[in-house]
A and B are shown apart, each in its own frame.
Chain A
Amino acid sequence: MSTPNESIQLTLNGEPYAMTAGLTAADLIEQLGLGGRRIAVEINEQIVPKSQLAATPLASGDQIEVVHAIGGG
């Protein structure tokens, strides 16, 4: 088991991102200030539905994409 202060290294939207071990994807979204926003999350190239974010633990090395809608043609 991870100790509470241990951190894991993620890749978040292409950039390195350190996070406390033992947390979930929902915790990450909250930490980013994106809770309740219209976003979509992919971890290691798999979609994580909104309903599953809180049940998805994060692990070191996870590649995470958080996307939203922007103007485009």
Chain B
Amino acid sequence: MTQLTDTPFTIAGRDFSSRLLVGTGKYKDFTETGAAIAQSGAEIVTFAVRRTNLGQDADAPNLLDVISPKQYTLLPNTAGCYNAKDAVRTCRLARELLDGHNLVKLEVLGDDHTLYPNVVETLKAAETLLADGFDVMVYTSDDPIVARELEAMGCCAIMPLGSLIGSGHGIQNPHNVRLIVEQSRVPVLVDAGIGTASDAAMAMELGCDGVLLNTAIAHARDPLRMANAMKLAVEAGRDAFLAGRMPRRQSADPSSPFAGRING
């Protein structure tokens, strides 16, 4: 059997073999978090930064005990930030938390009903973070013009939403995602909206470099099984993209030859 090869998936100068990035939210407990993420094969794992719960048991387990910075490339995110200033503060706290690690997922949200990206604040935050030496993977709308601006500023990955965060509605505007893929020289990842394996495969078939998801695994009935499904879907979608799909036809085209039929 031929060994199939692919170009490396490179983020901010580092090569990765998995094109699936996963979040750590909404799991039942840390055991399930660790098991699902291991099953997914993801190498880049995102987490949130929050106030320490003071007065807690000092021996309580910590997320970073389960998702070790030695094993995974950690991607702190700015989820929950609604303006550039909070997002920048959060990234600086994360960098301190991870001993100088510069890679962040920037997301600045517009409101708590849609969690839609506020692109004005996102652009402001990106400018400050890039000037401060961060490698910025940016969550944004599926607007190709905004995506182009973010890339021109120096963001290391463009991450348009498929649909609203946590909605599981899949990729609502595949044409826009395709436009962003075609124009971008940095990796493009669908981030948000993936509901099931076919959505992840679709993102990859559109030519995305990767997929970032959380709820689709964490809220599946069986998160471990869905983690495996997502891993396979991303691989299958990537191969389908590289293979190049057959052209669509208006009429049928038999797979078996006409010649030599017994009724000929």
Chain A contact residues, CB within 8 Å of chain B: 12-15, 32-34, 37-42, 45, 47, 49-50, 65-73
CB neighbours of A34 from chain B (8 A): 52, 58
Determine the chain A residues whose CB is within 8 A of the CB of B215 once the complex forms.
Answer: 73
Q: Is the CB of A67 within 8 A of B79?
A: no
B89 proximal to A (CB < 8 A) = yes
Contact (A72, B47) CB under 8 Å given A40-B94, A47-B96, A50-B96 = yes
Partner of B97 from A33, A45, A67 at Cβ < 8 Å: A67
Identify which of B26, B89, B97 gathers the most chain A CB atoms within 10 Å of its CB: B97
Is the Cβ of A40 less than 8 Å from the Cβ of B93?
Answer: yes
Chain B interface residues toward A at CB < 8 A = 23-27, 33, 46-52, 54, 58, 62-64, 74, 76-77, 79, 89, 92-97, 165-166, 212-215, 218
Contact of A73 among B51, B64, B89, B214 (CB under 8 A): B214
Given contacts A69-B47, A69-B63, 19 further A-B contacts (CB under 8 A): A32-B52, A34-B52, A38-B64, A40-B49, A41-B96, A42-B92, A65-B51, A65-B93, A67-B50, A68-B97, A70-B48, A71-B25, A71-B26, A71-B27, A72-B24, A72-B79, A73-B23, A73-B77, A73-B212
Assembly CA distance A49 to B95 (angstroms): 10
Docked-complex contact B62 and A68, CB < 8 angstroms: yes
Q: What residues of A have a CB within 8 angstroms of the CB of B79 in the complex?
A: 72-73
> What A residues does B77 contact at CB under 8 A?
72-73
- Contact residues in B for A45 (Cβ distance below 8 Å): 89
Complex contact B93–A37 (CB within 8 A)? no
A71 contact set on B, CB distance < 8 A: 23-27, 33, 47-48, 63
Given A69-B63, A70-B48, A12 and B33 contact (CB-CB distance below 8 Å)? no
Do the beta carbons of A70 and B47 come within 8 Å of each other? yes
